[in-house]
């Protein structure tokens, strides 16, 4: 069964600084990987996904993530943080399980952006 | 703006009440989901409907009763809930299920308080 570990439940950065949110996964087969963002009082919104092909994936709002199979990682980055990036971020993994696919979420990382 | 619409946005109900949550999508998606999210936690899957048929029930108590009248609509009927059922209830849809690489599109949720 697959699992996701997000290192750091809280990350705080200054406006303009690099954002790095860490995600490691466990999967017995090639995984599909996702990052979702949740702003206060809203649902989750897809930032980006990795299925196959290029390992560096670009998403919305300037975010990108790199799939590293050897490290079983899918870290999320953004070169320069904006105040509007403050939100909860969830990494998720999905794999085929004999026709019963489920999306498994990490516990989330709350990003705070300081002025 | 989200393409998955949930009503109501907020709901307060007593333990003896019967109420329903509603969800609608017009993206032509064939799979719809109910998730429950407690504060500072990731969403927890409750039900999955594929082509209007219940495909997954994650051992949810019978006081939660899902219904999928057609491929665009999903309801969650609530009866005799407990205070611990207070949470954000999220509806989501995807192109297909099972399809591990199909991302979820979430609504903004219904904030439920059980008194």
Assess whether pLDDT exceeds 70 at residue B15: yes
pLDDT above 70: residue B1: no
**DSSP symbols for chain A:** --EEEEE-SEEEEETTSPEEEEEEEE-SS--EEEEEEE-TTS-EEEEEEE-SS-SEEE-GGG-EEEEETTTTEEEEEESS--GGG-EEEEEEEEE--SS--EEEE---EEEEEE-
**A12-64 pLDDT, tens per residue?**
999 999 999 999 999 877 789 999 999 998 999 999 999 888 899 999 999 99
pLDDT at A101 > cutoff 80: no
Residue A97's pLDDT is what? 60
User: pLDDT grade, residue B23 (50/70/90)?
Assistant: very high
To test the contact with chain B by mutation, choose from A2, A25, A44 the residue with the greatest count of B C-beta atoms within 10 A, namely A44
Beta strands in chain B (DSSP E): 4-7, 10-13, 18-25, 31-37, 44-50, 53-57, 64-70, 73-79, 87-94, 105-106, 110-114
CB-nearest to B108 from A42, A102, A107 is A42
A100 vs B41: CB contact, 8 Å cut-off?
no
Amino acid B55: pLDDT: 92
- State the pLDDT at residue A17: 98
Distance from CA of A70 to the nearest CA of B (A): 21
Nearest residue of chain B to residue A96 (CA atoms): B100
Residues in chain A: 115
- pLDDT score of A66: 96
What tokens were used for A72?
């079983």
């Amino acid at each position: 069964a697959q699992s996701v570990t997000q290192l750091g439940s809280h990350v705080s950065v200054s406006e303009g600084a690099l954002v790095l949110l860490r995600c490691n996964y466990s999967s017995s087969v090639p995984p599909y990987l996702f990052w979702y963002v949740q702003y206060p009082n809203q649902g989750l919104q897809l930032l980006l996904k990795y299925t196959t092909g290029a390992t560096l994936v670009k998403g919305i709002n300037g975010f990108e993530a790199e799939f590293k199979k050897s490290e079983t990682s899918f870290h999320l980055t953004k070169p320069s943080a904006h105040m509007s990036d403050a939100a909860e971020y969830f990494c998720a993994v999905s794999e085929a399980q004999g026709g019963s696919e489920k999306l498994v979420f990490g516990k989330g990382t709350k990003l705070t952006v300081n002025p | 703006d989200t393409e998955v619409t949930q009503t109501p946005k907020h709901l307060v109900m007593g333990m003896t009440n019967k109420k329903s949550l509603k969800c609608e999508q017009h993206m032509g998606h064939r799979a719809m989901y109910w998730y429950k999210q407690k504060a500072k936690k990731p969403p927890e899957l409750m039900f999955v409907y594929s082509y209007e048929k219940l495909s997954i029930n994650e051992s949810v108590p019978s006081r939660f009763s899902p219904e999928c009248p057609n491929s665009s609509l999903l309801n969650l009927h609530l009866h005799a809930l407990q205070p611990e059922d207070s949470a954000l209830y999220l509806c989501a849809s995807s192109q297909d299920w099972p399809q591990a690489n199909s991302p979820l599109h979430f609504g903004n949720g219904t904030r439920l308080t059980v008194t």
